Amino acid sequence: MKSPTAQTYTQLSKAVAGARFPQNTAKIETILSAAFQQIEENLKRPYFLHKGSRPTRDGFGTDLPKGQRDETMLRNLLIAELFRSWHLAFEEVPAINNKDYPATKFVAFAEQIFYLLGIGKIEDHLEEFQSFRAKSLAYFDVNEGEVKK
């Protein structure tokens, strides 16, 4: 995942304007810009603990491991905001196509946003998010707002 730049935010504005949402376009742009800012902040400073180290079971405050970090939760944040934006614009849950089928309007829009951050395999990430969301919501009674036991 690439860190957003000033040019990325300009391209985001163009992508949102090009989507021609029927309502709440300014609010959608604000939501997605805030998500980009959170991603940018996390990519610059991924851990803000103990002088650049992370507490673990074996060694409290050891150095962070080298290599690529897992960016699943950053992608999930972005996808959640895309779902929210789509619902604000069309007042419907976005439809995700199956692999090797023509892309739905939501997937085409999400692909533009993912491209700005250098994220590929959009269908895989959207399916992974839906599974994550279903597992997360299984523990909550959405109508009552209470946690299930």
pLDDT at 16: 94
User: 35 and 114 in contact (C-beta within 8 Å)?
Assistant: no
State the 10-residue block means of pLDDT for the chain, 149 residues long.
Answer: 91 92 93 94 69 57 64 91 94 83 90 93 89 83 58
pLDDT at 144: 54
DSSP symbol at 124:
H
pLDDT at 33: 96
In this structure, the strands spanning 146-147 and 53-54 are unpaired
Place of tokens 């614009």: 89
Q: Which amino acid is at 128?
A: E
List the one residue out of 125, 123, 129 whose CA is nearest residue 98: 123
User: 139 and 147 in contact (C-beta within 8 Å)?
Assistant: yes
pLDDT at 93: 87
pLDDT at 88: 94
Report the distance separating Cα 78 and Cα 2, nearest Å: 13
pLDDT at 49: 47
Per-residue DSSP letters for 70-92? Answer: P-HHHHHHHHHHHHHHHHHHHSS
116 token code pair: 């700005």
pLDDT at 82: 95
- What does the buried/exposed string (b/e) look like for 39-57 if buried means 16 or more CB atoms within 10 Å of the residue's CB? bbebbeeeeeeeeeeeeee
